[in-house]
Amino acid sequence: MPDFDQIRQQFPILQQTENGQPLVYLDNGATSQKPLKVIETIERYYRVQNANVHRGVYGLSERATELYEGAREKVRGFLNAKSTKEIVFVRGVTEAVNLVAQSWARTFLKAGDEVLITEMEHHSNIVPWQLLREQIGIRLRVLPMNDKGEVCLGAMADMVNEHTKLVSVTHMSNALGTINDVKRMCEIAHSVGAKFMADGAQATAHLKVDVQDIDCDFYALSGHKMYGPTGIGVLYAKEELLEAMPPYQGGGDMIYSVTFDSTEFNVLPYKFEAGTPNIAGGIGLGAAVDFLQELGMDKVAAYEDELLHYATNQLKQIEGLRIIGEAERKGGVISFIIDDIHPHDMATLMDQDGICVRASHHCAMPVMQHFKVPSTVRASFGVYNNFDDIDRLIASIEESKEMLL
């Protein structure tokens, strides 16, 4: 097992204080902090490696291209994709879902076809399908969850039918921590000939992901939630699907040749990467992948599971506190409310103790509607968190509770 206390030293931001208190960062579900490996990789690129990629015949450009494409290969290995042709760089999961909706689904779906999502989805996996419904008349169906925050696979098997063309679900809920059995869900989707997409925004920092084992058709990730930079993410898609899909955007680098009469598009994956890319972001994402691979995803998952169980047991001792979402299989996310205290008030007071937690609907309003709450306080863990962080979290909750009641 890696020395996770030593890992904490690799994150400069965690060495500072907040309101005179040592910083405890527990908002990893929103974005993660960045290790020196990532920060220095991005700094080095801008300091001595900066050039545009794919276009220059001079050495600096060729070296930048090698670094950028090297990062693509790192992501391919991280996800166990068959080829780098299946790794499309995007801004994040939001753009990836929109790309699938506007390129694949808008091309191959028609009025009356069904897209199935779950009740626990982030808005990024709801709104693009609503837009598509307005555009071409698809039907959007929602697989419900129970009060533990779990979806029933039996109910999913009953809901899919010959009209189901895509099932798109979160791998790990950002609001509840629920880890869905995406492999089994993919099997159910494929049993009726539907495609399957997983939103991996939360999962890839916490779980080992193997897209070939899942057999998913699409998988999306966001770099900033897995210790990488903001503004960079990945859409994985099976090569044959990407070949059949039209470009999502037009412009430079996604073309092979252009005349005023027609355009011949570039090969995969560049057909979907119009314009100068986020080069530093891509290279930084590669460094984040290195960081996680060196730790070992199985060990990351095991350590964070220890944190989750310790925090859950401690929180349950607090009178009036209710955990929202108690799925049997969860990642390092705990959402909770306290009787007669608004989550925003709680989080504001906790900030005075140097504790960073999120209080909101977490861009998952249907989840809040299911549990009949306006918002929750959410503590979400990363590899640099430890048991002392949890003890300080508990103490701050108790202190804030006394002040607010």
Helix (H, G, I), strand (E, B) or coil at 136: helix
Q: Which residues are catalytic?
A: 363
What is Dmax (Cα atoms) for the chain? 72
Alpha carbon distance, N-terminus to C-terminus of the chain: 42
Indicate if the alpha-carbon torsion angle 296, 239, 125, 196 is positive or negative: negative
378: phi then psi, degrees, rounded to nearest 5: -125, 125
Sorted by sequence, the CB contacts under 8 Å of residue 332 that are 6+ apart come out as: 28, 177, 206, 304, 305, 307, 308, 380, 381, 382, 385
Could you give the 3-state DSSP secondary structure of residue 81?
A: coil
Tokens standing for 58? Answer: 């001079």
Q: In the 8-state DSSP scheme, what is residue 362?
A: T
Contact 224, 230 (CB under 8 A): yes
How far is 371 from 24, CA to CA, in rounded Å? Answer: 28
Return all residues near 209 (Cβ < 8 A) that are at least 6 apart.
78, 79, 80, 171, 200, 203, 219, 297
- If you search the block for the tokens 């069904």, which residue do you land on? 114
**In angstroms, rounded to a whole number, what is the distance separating the alpha carbons of residues 258 and 246?**
16
